[in-house]
Amino acid sequence: MNAQLLFRRAAMALVLVSVAAFSASERNGWILVVGGLLAVAAGSFTHGPRGRALPPWVVRLGVIAAIGWGAAQFAQRPSPEEAPRVVGGVVLAAMLLKLWDRKQPSDWRQVIALSIVLVVASALVSGDFLVGVLVIGYAMALVATTMLYQLHAGAERAAEDRSKVALRPGALPPMEAPHGASPVRHLRRLSVVAMALGVALSALVFLLFPRDSALGGGQQSARTSGFRADISLWRSGRISLSSRVAMTVQLLDPRGAAGELTLPLRMRGAVLEQYFPGAAQWRGDPSRSGDRLYQGDGTGAFQWFATEARNERSNVWTQVVEMRSLASDRVFSAWMPLAIACDESRSFVIDSRTAELSEAASGIVGKPRSYSIRMQAYPSPRIAKAVVGAAMPEPEVDFPVPEVRTIAERIVAEHPDAEIPTAEDIAREPEQRWIRNRRLANLFTEHLSGERFRYSTDLSEFRRRGGEDPIVLFLDRYRFGHCEYFASALVALCRSMGAEARVVTGYMTTEYDSVTDRYVFRESGAHAWAEVRTGEWQWGTFDPSPMDELLAIQRANRTWMDSFRWILDPVEFMWNSRFASFDSRSQAELGDRVATGAKSASAWFTERAGELVERANRWFLLGPAGALWLALVGVTALIAVAAAWVVARRARRASDELGARGQGLAARLALGRDARFYLDALDALARAGMAKPAGRTPGLHADALRASHPEAGEAFADVVRRFYAVRYAGIVPSRADRADADAAVSRLRAALARGYTST
């Protein structure tokens, strides 16, 4: 077994897996191609016959350049989401450069440490299923590689020590690694046990330490699904442009027929009403005091949110949602929800302020896989009031950034023909309030979607300037951004002029699969738009994002591989639902489910045992005495099983310790009985710290004991002579021979108890 060669191969495998994980997290196959080729070439050249490597100063200069590049990248995009990507890029460059250097054991240790950092950075960047599989595989391989590294480093140190004590070069024979099947077999067993323990420990850590801080709305980050349950405008990274399918939706008209709309279909996920200028964040109302809970029965029947909604027959549509890669506790709905149905016994909550739906704790691990919603696009005031269950609360109308008011007044002044109702008009006719809101929203939407503004998913050039708010910078200076900036600007302009408005995040698509009659929502379809109050119970949808540019970007990111992504969709959903989104709520639900299952299993076994005893009594007519007899039979069976286990253990020890491998069970048991004294002697030596090595014969071990412990060595030599007579001469010991052998073992124990007497 060449430990050095095995270690180099294992270390190279770790490097390639770490590069693959980072490539998968970045969704860039060229990273794997280029990085893998450079790593393999480094292994071939530096450990080839000529041993070519880069000079140390080149490696150091390259690492310094990589660190400088990373600092420049982070300065352009200073956000926590970009930090793992930058660190991963720097570490990848440093690791590849280190592979081209001449490596001592300490250098290999640095390469392995860099690969660990690269894998951790990949896991922080993305929670995709492929990244998770690579991380798990890397963790398992790391255990075996660490063990091989210890062998490699030990061999290198031993060779160095031998060269130091040699009188002249070549005075000592070369050190050889052990050969044969036994060392390889032992190393393989130890590696398997270590990897199993590593997996068990990882599972325990996974269950005990859920990932709460990284989750929002059931999602880890924008790179997981594109959907966010809140908005941070200083998040300067790229928006997810993945073409992976997040969910599919079948839209059924009031007659139950599936069809396609002429306009884009939007799915509401979260409604954000509160803006915090200091953090530049939009968040939902955390109080939600008027929420109402609905428990599904798991039969797929609709749970109606109001009696009036159940009786409604006009313009009631149905959407059937099937999650693909997306796993979220948010329930997505195109319009005002009237009822919900699910095939699992899950609980759902409806927000009385915004009519947004989400899943509540239901004791089921994971997120909803599919559900159906009855809904109306333009509900009457009577239906809207019945669904939310209370009077419509007055939302906030002011905006906490005064500069936005100045910009809004300037925009209105540029369009004198807009005919915006004044306060006097509203005082005379209160309904003019809703007309004013609608006209302001249309005016600001037209302004934002015009030629002055540009849609872009890359905000690397969107820099902070002093204490200016990002919405002001977007409106007055940069005038480029993605949908979150357009929606935020529209809501800010409306509210600064007294019109009630709020930001909505969810998904939008125009992609329709005519074969399955389903809308396809991709991760790149995650979108933000605005809702403006246009009536006492009505909220109109306004989307200022340039629609043509937005749809063109989504279409440009589709590839021929998208046709095959459906194969992994169920696996992706399970991964995101049960692993990537495992938070404290999922942990509690898992604990409740395990406790309930344990109680149910205990009750089931107790019931089955009672039925079995009752059936036996009826069949055999045993009565109370018969039950006692069955209990005795059960105890006897347990004793028989224990005895069989003891016999099997003795037979196995006879095979391992007495060299009886390959003999029949009866022969092994007979040998174990006749040579029992020898096994007792081995146990005594092991307890005294003088166990016989596996590769040493009994006679040689007796000679070794004589050198350090003459009395114990002589006693063990007597035991060995008697063992050889039984094992190899075929002598069956008599009762007297057994007594003499036991006496020899007793002398050995007494000698070991008196301690060492060597001279």
pLDDT band at 185 (very low <50, low <70, confident <90, very high): low
Does residue 709 sit in the same domain as residue 684? yes
The total of structural domains in the chain comes to 3
**End residue of a domain, out of 521, 550, 582:** 582
Using one digit for the tens of pLDDT, what is the confidence trace for 352-382?
778 888 888 665 666 788 899 999 988 888 8
Residue 637 pLDDT exceeds 60: yes
Q: What is the pLDDT of residue 500?
A: 92
Q: Does residue 626 lie within any of the structural domains? A: no
* pLDDT per position as a tens digit, 719-749: 888 888 887 787 888 888 888 888 988 888 8
Q: pLDDT tens digit string along 98-109?
A: 888 877 778 888
Residue of 212 and 24 predicted with greater confidence: 24
Question: pLDDT tens digits, residue range 45-84?
Answer: 777 666 677 888 888 898 899 899 888 888 776 666 678 8
Residue 488: predicted pLDDT? 95
Do 203 and 228 lie in one domain? The reply is no
Is residue 442, in this structure, part of any structural domain at all?
yes
In the prediction, which pLDDT does 406 show? 94
683 three-state secondary structure: helix
Compare 581 and 243 and report the one with higher pLDDT: 243
| 244 in the same domain as 199 | no
Residue-level pLDDT at 540 = 92
What are the φ/ψ torsions at residue 229 (nearest 5 degrees)?
Answer: -85, 0
pLDDT at 582 over 70: no
Whether 190 and 307 map to the same domain: the answer is: no
Can you give the pLDDT at residue 312? 82
User: Mean pLDDT throughout 249-272?
Assistant: 91
Q: Which residues contact 330 (CB under 8 A, 6 or more apart)?
A: 217, 218, 227, 229, 269, 270, 356, 357, 358, 359
108-158 residue pLDDT tens? 888 999 999 998 888 877 767 778 788 888 888 888 888 888 877 777 777
Compute φ and ψ for 349, nearest 5 degrees: -120, 135
Residue 173 per-residue DSSP state: P
The confidence score (pLDDT) of residue 568 equals 60
244-253, 558-567, 655-664, 685-694: segment of lowest average pLDDT:
558-567
Task: Report the pLDDT averaged over residues 23-32.
Answer: 83
292-344 tens-digit pLDDT: 777 777 777 888 888 888 888 788 999 999 888 787 888 999 999 999 998 88
Instruction: Answer with the one of 540, 566, 582 that is the final residue of a domain.
Output: 582
- Chain segment 648-702, per-residue pLDDT in tens: 776 666 666 666 666 777 777 777 777 778 888 888 888 888 888 877 888 888 8
Same domain, 271 and 385: yes
Last residue of a domain, one of 554, 582, 610: 582
Q: Give the residue-averaged pLDDT of 265-271.
A: 92
pLDDT in tens, 405-430: 999 999 999 988 888 888 888 889 98
Please give the average per-residue pLDDT across 610-636, as a whole number. 68
How confident is the model over 541-563, as a mean pLDDT?
A: 72
- Claim to verify: residue 569 and residue 482 sit in the same structural domain: yes
Whether 558 shows a pLDDT value over 70: the answer reads no
For residue 465, the model assigns a pLDDT of 75
274-288 per-position pLDDT tens digit? 999 988 899 987 765
Residue 132, both tokens: 């998770």
Residue span of the structural domain in which 148 resides: 3-166+180-208
Task: Decide if 728 is inside a domain.
Answer: yes
In a domain, residue 469? The reply is: yes
Mean residue pLDDT across the chain: 79
DSSP label at residue 533? E
Does the residue 640 lie in any domain? no
What's the average model confidence in pLDDT over 514-519?
88
State the Cα–Cα distance between residues 748 and 758, nearest whole angstrom. 15
Among 570, 485, 499, 497, residue whose Cα is nearest residue 529: 485
Residues 395 and 452 in one domain: yes
Within a domain: 600:
no
Residues with Cβ < 8 Å from 586, sequence gap 6 or more?
210, 365, 366, 578
366, 264: one domain = yes
Query: Which whole number is the average pLDDT over 8-30?
Result: 87
Q: How far is CA 478 from CA 73, 399, 459, in A?
A: 20, 21, 10
Q: What's the pLDDT at 214?
A: 38
CA dist 574 to 291, 323, 339, 506, Å? Answer: 29, 10, 26, 21
User: Are residues 374 and 443 located together in one domain of the fold?
Assistant: yes
3-state SS record for 427-481: HHCCCHHHHHHHHHHHHHHHHHCCCCCEECCCCCCCCCCCCCCHHHHHHHHHCEE
Residues 575 and 679 in one domain: no
- Considering the domain architecture, whether residues 219 and 192 belong to the same structural domain is answered as no
Q: Is 415 helix (H, G, I), strand (E, B) or coil?
A: coil
* Residues 68, 7 share a domain: yes
Q: Are 323 and 566 in contact (CB under 8 A)?
A: no
Q: Is residue 616 part of a domain?
A: no
